[in-house]
Amino acid sequence: MIIIGLTGSIGMGKSTAARAFRSCGVAVYDADAQVHKLIGPGGTAVAAVAAAFPGVLARDRADRDLIDRPALAAKVFDDPAALARLEAILHPMAGRAKEKFLGVAARRGEPMVVLDIPLLLETGGERDCDVVVVVSAPPFVQAGRVMQRPGMTAKRLQAILDKQIPDHEKRLRADFIVRTGLDRAYSLRAIARIVKIIRDTL
């Protein structure tokens, strides 16, 4: 089974790329979605995160515990020690979910899977992958996308970028680069070509 690592800096179009892989019939593990599940209603990380960060516990309409993500973000933003505490809780849980995904995919006989992980290269996750795909767009396109997100500011965007490997370096470390600054159809065709190339090697 070929493991494809999908990554890219914030606002580069990684979510769209992941959907394109799914449309090509490739199973995708979404690291962000898994973290949201862990701290969402009834999530297995809710109790531990709430204990580590007082004031972030909330309730949904069904009276289930969950983590108030904006409140949590405010506590870890620009605080490396707090972020490290959070990662120490979430990363092992997300890691187990990833291994479960890979195990299920292997039992199903999947020829290839995608690990959609934002900080794949920053955390050394590429060592677990056979192929690395990096999505990339010009800086002005990236900034335009990110600044549309609720609560985003130029300062916060820069702080996020400072924690990520620069786009040009990620491109140097990629096996395939998907340019997402043109149009969606171009990106879809590029990903379909990647899937075909990999399938042809099996």
**72 burial type by CB count under 10 A (0-12 exposed, 13-18 middle, 19+ buried):** buried
pLDDT of residue 187: 86
Residue 60 has a pLDDT of 87
The predicted pLDDT at position 136 comes to 95
pLDDT digits (tens, 9 = 90+) for 51-63: 999 999 999 888 8
Quick one: pLDDT at residue 80?
87
Across the chain, which distance is largest between two alpha carbons, in Å? Answer: 52
**pLDDT value at 134 more than 90:** yes
State the pTM of this model. 0.90
- pLDDT of residue 86 exceeding 80, the answer is yes
**Cβ neighbours, 10 Å, residue 106:** 11
Taking residue 83's Cβ as centre, other Cβ atoms within 10 Å add up to 14
Task: Determine the Cα–Cα distance for residues 142 and 172; give it in Å rounded to an integer.
Answer: 18
- The alpha carbon of 72 is separated from its chain's Cα centroid by a whole number of angstroms, namely 18
Check residue 184 and give its pLDDT: 79
For the segment 157-162, the average pLDDT, to the nearest whole number, is: 86
100: pLDDT confidence band, cut at 50, 70 and 90? very high
**Which residues lie across from 5 on neighbouring strands?**
115, 132
